[in-house]
Structure 1
């Protein structure tokens, strides 16, 4: 199995954070030091992203297996976007190790389906996949812009997002393609209803990548869930509301 790049900060209960598609753990930079005042924070680069080497076969099951190898004995696990799907699967497979779950701007099913209106159009995901091979830089920039769509502070946060993205070089192209295929095909709706851990759902009300209705659906389905919906916020609530984001995570740690 491939070793993952992990950075750790602070002292306290263990908190593991998983980034989204095409990003890396540096994306948590705006909240890292605040979180480290309350937690022993583990920031993970997924395979083929940041400083972690790519590995095969790059499926969702594979990502779950490789992250499971580095989890502390007991931890709170947080996942953003694609990282949220990895986190859901880990909560199901490792209930003794994952005490609490934070689902950040994520969804059990990224793509729209006949019985699921709260997803992205399949043709849009397919277009990203095709354009990724034709013009990598343009496709990534469009994706970053889409993440900030509907955010009142987009003009300030989008440059931060672009800066974070390029700090650790380009992700592995094959890992990006495999990640997009996960987004196209994964559907965890039937399975996540059996998650038993306390869950904090954090979302932006203007998110166009993971629809807010998906967060509402998860909140209804998960028996021990709390929901936080940030106003005027796109796909990265921890960038738009860093102090409030940390406060909610800390309250979740102490109160649930």
Structure 2
């Protein structure tokens, strides 16, 4: 069995935090401590990230199977960026383990499809994939810059992201490539439209990776979806606008029975 690293803080309703591409559970630390004042918060390192063992192949189905066994009761799953695809897939495959869902700067399909679906240009992901083989560290730094470069305090946020990444060993190139493949190929729109559990989406108005326009498209797929826009936030609202993000999650969690 693959060794998956996790940390749990606080007491109360359970919520599991799943990080994004190339990151690890440590990115949540300060945010998780604040959330843990009211809830039981579990931060997971994705396979091959942080202190978790790698899996091969690094596919969405394998990731979901590895993570779902870590939690013994239905809970709220929160996924940020790539983590949003992971928690959506867990909900699709293991609905009995999910009581509610939060998609933070995430969506069911990351790439665009013309006017039908706003998303990231697939050529940008292809560029990341090509650069991974040439200079992995430079590619990661470029990706981090994209997450914050539209924000006024981008230098401070980029410094925070870099420090978090360097805190634990970086994923190997194969794992990083697998993550890019998931972002490029995954389409969970049907899975989202079929959900019958509470779902909250939190998007940043200045996000350059997950366009805010995707929120309306998601609401068309699932009219009951709760859409929250933090106007001045980018791709890391839990770092740049932690108070607003915490307030949204707390309101959502407090509505749930479990």
In structure 2, the residue matched to 1:254 is 254
Would you say 1:67 and 2:67 are equivalent positions?
yes
Give distance in 2, aligned partners of 1:137 and 1:250: 36
On the 8 A contact 1:149/1:206 being kept in 2, the answer is: no
Q: How far does residue 32 in structure 1 lie from its aligned partner after superposition? A: 1.3
In structure 2, the residue matched to 1:165 is 165
In structure 1, the residue matched to 2:105 is 105
In structure 1, the residue matched to 2:207 is 207
Gapped regions of structure 2 (runs ≥ 5): none
Report which stretch shifted further, 218-227 or 187-196.
218-227
Q: How far does residue 195 in structure 1 lie from its aligned partner after superposition? A: 1.1
Q: How far does residue 17 in structure 1 lie from its aligned partner after superposition? A: 0.5
In structure 1, the residue matched to 2:125 is 125
On the 8 A contact 1:75/1:99 being kept in 2, the answer is: yes
Give distance in 2, aligned partners of 1:133 and 1:85: 24
On the 8 A contact 1:14/1:72 being kept in 2, the answer is: no
SS of equivalent residue, structure 1 residue 134 = coil
Give distance in 2, aligned partners of 1:208 and 1:138: 19
Give distance in 1, aligned partners of 2:249 and 2:80: 13
Structure 1 residues 201-256: Cα deviation after superposition (integer angstroms, max 9, x where no partner): 01101111111112221133224321111122110110111122112111111125
On the 8 A contact 1:151/1:232 being kept in 2, the answer is: yes
SS of equivalent residue, structure 2 residue 95 = coil
Would you say 1:227 and 2:227 are equivalent positions?
yes
Give distance in 2, aligned partners of 1:64 and 1:23: 17
In structure 2, the residue matched to 1:144 is 144
Aligned length: 256
Once superposed, which parts of structure 1, at least 4 consecutive aligned residues long, lie more than 3 Å away?
A: 114-117
Q: How far does residue 190 in structure 1 lie from its aligned partner after superposition? A: 2.3
TM-score, L = length of structure 2? 0.95
Gapped regions of structure 1 (runs ≥ 5): none
TM-score, L = length of structure 1? 0.96
SS of equivalent residue, structure 1 residue 17 = strand
